[in-house]
Amino acid sequence: MRILLMALCCFLLGSCGNVEVDHYAAERPSLDLVRFFSQPVEAWGIFQKRSGEVVKRFHVQIASRREGEQLILDEHFLYSDGSRQQRVWTLTPGGSGHWTGRAADVVGEAYGEVAGNALRWRYQMNLPVDGSTWEVSLDDWMYLMDEDTLINRSSMSKLGVELGQVTLFFRRQPVVPQ
């Protein structure tokens, strides 16, 4: 009974702090995903355990292209330990600021909603951990600071227990003439 009561308290406390993306509808500049990713983007980020300890640092180079209505983001990660990863997102607009996204390590679809300068993504991802794979949940918030700068903060959890936070700083890069 005590465990059930503790689980219920954790659930209720966790649901108290939810802000909806519409809260940011009046914030400017307005985030237009297609426009932001219309040129090369670089990002720098960290992963922190829930204790606050930084356990990974990384750099990302992002190239994008349009395929019909879809926006394709080709992300190339370089981690502080020298390891590399590629993730290709296929983002599809759904109207009224809604988006869906797919990537090889995302379980099903990611669901996103834009309002004002903010975008909130929610999705499950298969994450390699010590030789096994965990299915983790991500609650991903992005905020456009100016036309070239986007800040991203994501909470990662498993079975409702927070594992840590991912923080990224995105910067649009000048287009280099060929």
Residues in the chain: 178
- What is the Cα 142 distance to its own chain's centre? 7
Beta strands per DSSP E along the chain: 41-49, 54-67, 70-79, 84-95, 98-102, 106-115, 118-129, 132-146, 149-158, 161-172
CA distance 97 to 166: 24
* Domain boundary assignment for the chain: 27-172
pLDDT digits (tens), the chain, 178 positions: 666 555 545 554 554 568 999 999 999 999 999 999 999 999 999 999 999 999 999 999 999 999 999 999 999 999 999 999 999 999 999 999 999 999 999 999 999 999 999 999 999 999 988 899 999 999 999 999 999 999 999 999 999 999 999 999 999 999 887 7
In CATH terms, 27-172 corresponds, of 2.60.110.10, 3.30.2270.10, 2.40.128.20, 3.40.50.10470, to 2.40.128.20
Residue 130 backbone dihedrals phi, psi, to 5 degrees: 45, 50
Q: Which residues contact 44 (CB under 8 A, 6 or more apart)?
A: 57, 58, 59, 60, 168, 169
